[in-house]
Amino acid sequence: MALLSGGKGGATDQRARQLGIVHVLTGVKDKPAALMGLQHQLALTPDQTAFVGDDLNDLAVRPVVGLLVAPANAVAPLRRRADWVLDRNGGQGAVRRLSEAILQTRGTWAQLARNGWRDRND
């Protein structure tokens, strides 16, 4: 998981630290270029890349991702071009919904839902 944001506020960096996300790019002006650089660094192809965005500038990544996802409250042009529009708004469980769907697809959700998990709650 990675975070790419055009914003420069410290909230994104702080939240990434809380979640243990290592790859955090803020102040990004050219999202496709930044995303392609990250794909190269992590040896990922566009088909292996999903991207969640909510505004017009996120449409620019469409050619370099295999899955474009939008929260329910994304701008209409992005929702129209997205592969999947989530049933949750950004900031209200949208990424959580996507994460659960990925875990379900991988076949690991049922075990987690049954047994929970241990993590580094520090």
Token readout for 68 is: 């474009």
Predicted pLDDT of residue 120: 52
Q: What percent of the chain has pLDDT over 70?
A: 95
Q: What is the mean pLDDT of the chain?
A: 89
Q: Is 51 helix (H, G, I), strand (E, B) or coil?
A: strand
Question: Which two tokens mark 75?
Answer: 């701008």
How much is the pLDDT for 112? Answer: 85
CATH of residue 32's domain is 3.40.50.1000
Residue-wise pLDDT tens digits, 68-107: 999 999 999 999 999 999 999 988 988 889 888 988 998 8
User: What average pLDDT does this structure show over 110-114?
Assistant: 85
Residue 120 lies inside a defined structural domain of this protein: no
Full domain range(s) for residue 73: 2-115
Q: Is residue 77 part of a domain?
A: yes
Q: How many domains does the chain have?
A: 1
Contacts of residue 12, Cβ cutoff 8 Å, sequence gap at least 6: 3, 5, 24, 26
Residue 114's pLDDT is what?
A: 85
